Amino acid sequence: MNKNSIYEMMGISPEVLAFGENVLAEIKDRFDAIDEMAEYNGLKVLNAMHKVRISEAHLSGTTGYGYNDMGRDAIEEVYAKTFHTEDALVRPLIACGTHALAVAMSGNLRPGDELLAISGKPYDTLEEVIGTRPSRGSLAEYGVTYAQVDLTPESHFDYEGIKAAINERTHLIHIQRSKGYASRKTLGVTEIGEVIAYVKSLKPDVIVMVDNCYGEFTEEREPSDVGADMIVGSLIKNPGGGLAPIGGYIAGTKECVENAAVRLTSPGLGKEVGATLDANRYILQGFFSAPTVTASAVEAAVFAAAIYEKLGFKVIPGSKDPRYDIIQAVTLKSPERIQAFCKGIQAGAPVDAHVTP
Ligand SMILES: *Cc1c(COP(=O)(O)O)cnc(C)c1O
């Protein structure tokens, strides 16, 4: 059976197939550039693994307290060397991205401090962490206040607004790289670096934390290469490479990472404890694959953008725009189309394809 008849058997008509293949041909140069990015970032990870002298013993984990978990400690070194930070906390005990961000913020803020978000409203789940939506255990309950500066209508940092918002209590600045569920543009590492230099010129000791979720390995540099004190993300997204079964990371200065570690486990224990069970192998394998897995996600996003542009829908970013995360927004404009889209994606998935969402 040839490829085309397998597609037809799976419900993809020859017309749809030809349409897709024409679009693919048009974006070929773009894919070449994305593959180059995967190669560059793959080299960064491989080089870090060599420097840390990863060996077979690092692939197994511990139970119980997790003292002297060689694999865990080596993985944290690999992350730190890849992202060019002093230290990193990479743990299966971190449940998800929201948890990683909550640990990073609550570990580094004290009562009376102010948290300042300068890329507008943070990701939805952080509203309860910060307390902008009243919630049990929020930072607000612990006496941490919150201020926010929105991006300009063109999705750039509002320098005047930032200058006016920084005060003697401003202790931690939050920047979100990816657009998340917002319809703004995603922020590139260069632009993030410029604003970090600016806020540090106004207040040298302020901590800058970048929510790096969905952004890892989409550019040659990470926000930690341009002055961020902490970058934070989820292993269920890019850096897990689809293999890490759980986990999150915080990479940054020794001080920031240690502050987060004592919040994650306990004061006095910090990074010393935290068993990894069977996760080390998958966390390491996933990180090794992450640059190529991320690149294929970016390619799928560009492909989707090109397809839907041709069909007359509004897409953010456009197929020719630069990419700083793996997110693609398409405005489908009717509930029926959203349902049809979700059914189509589900029907093509490797798991639960027989289920109608
Ligand atoms: C996914 C995401 C989060 C939260 O991560 P979860 O793993 O869903 O808790 C935070 N910020 C951004 C930008 C994200 O994309």
Percent of residues in the chain assigned helix, strand, coil, to nearest 5: 45, 10, 40
Mutate to test the pocket of ligand 1, among 94, 123, 174 (most ligand atoms within 8 A of CB): 123
Q: Write the DSSP string, 271-298.
A: GG----TTHHHHHHHHHHHHHHHHHHHH
CA distance 286 to 244: 6
**Residue 30: helix, strand or coil by DSSP?**
helix
CA distance 123 to 126: 6
Q: What is the pLDDT of residue 181?
A: 82
**Ligand 1 contacts CB of residue 123 (under 6 A):** yes
CB count, 10 Å around CB of 333? Answer: 11
Q: Determine the distance separating the centroid of ligand 1 and the alpha carbon of 60, expressed in angstroms.
A: 28
CB 248 within 8 A of CB 94: yes
- CA separation (Å) from 205 to 172, 196, 208, 262? 9, 12, 9, 21
Q: What is the mean pLDDT of each run of 10 residues along the chain (357 residues)?
A: 91 94 96 98 98 97 97 98 98 98 98 98 97 97 98 97 98 96 92 98 98 98 98 98 98 98 98 98 98 98 97 96 96 96 93 93
> Which parts of the chain are beta strand (E)?
87-91, 114-117, 145-148, 170-176, 207-211, 230-234, 248-252, 314-316, 329-331
- Among protein residues, the one with the nearest Cα to ligand 1's atom 3 is 97
CB 210 within 8 A of CB 227: no
Index of the ligand 1 atom closest to the CA of residue 122: 11
Q: What is the pLDDT of residue 242?
A: 97
- CA separation (Å) from 337 to 111, 120, 175, 330? 48, 30, 33, 11
CA distance 231 to 136: 26
CA distance 23 to 259: 49
**Ligand 1 contacts CB of residue 213 (under 6 A):** yes
What CATH class is the domain 64-287? Answer: alpha beta
- Among residues 178, 119, 122, the alpha carbon closest in space to that of 298 is found at 178
**Ligand 1 contacts CB of residue 178 (under 6 A):** yes
CB count, 10 Å around CB of 193? Answer: 16
Write down the CATH number for the domain with range 3-42+291-347. Answer: 3.90.1150.60
**Ligand 1 contacts CB of residue 212 (under 6 A):** no
Six token digits for residue 221: 């540099």
Domain parsing of the chain, residue ranges: 3-42+291-347, 64-287
Q: What is the pLDDT of residue 183?
A: 83
Index of the ligand 1 atom closest to the CA of residue 96: 7
Q: Is the alpha carbon torsion for 216, 219, 222, 227 positive or negative?
A: negative
Q: Determine the distance separating the centroid of ligand 1 and the alpha carbon of 84, expressed in angstroms.
A: 22
CB count, 10 Å around CB of 313? Answer: 14
Q: What is the pLDDT of residue 182?
A: 86
**Residue 83: helix, strand or coil by DSSP?**
coil
3-42+291-347 shares its CATH topology with 64-287: no
- Whether residue 317 is preceded by a cis peptide bond, meaning omega within 30 degrees of 0, is yes
Q: What is the pLDDT of residue 75?
A: 98
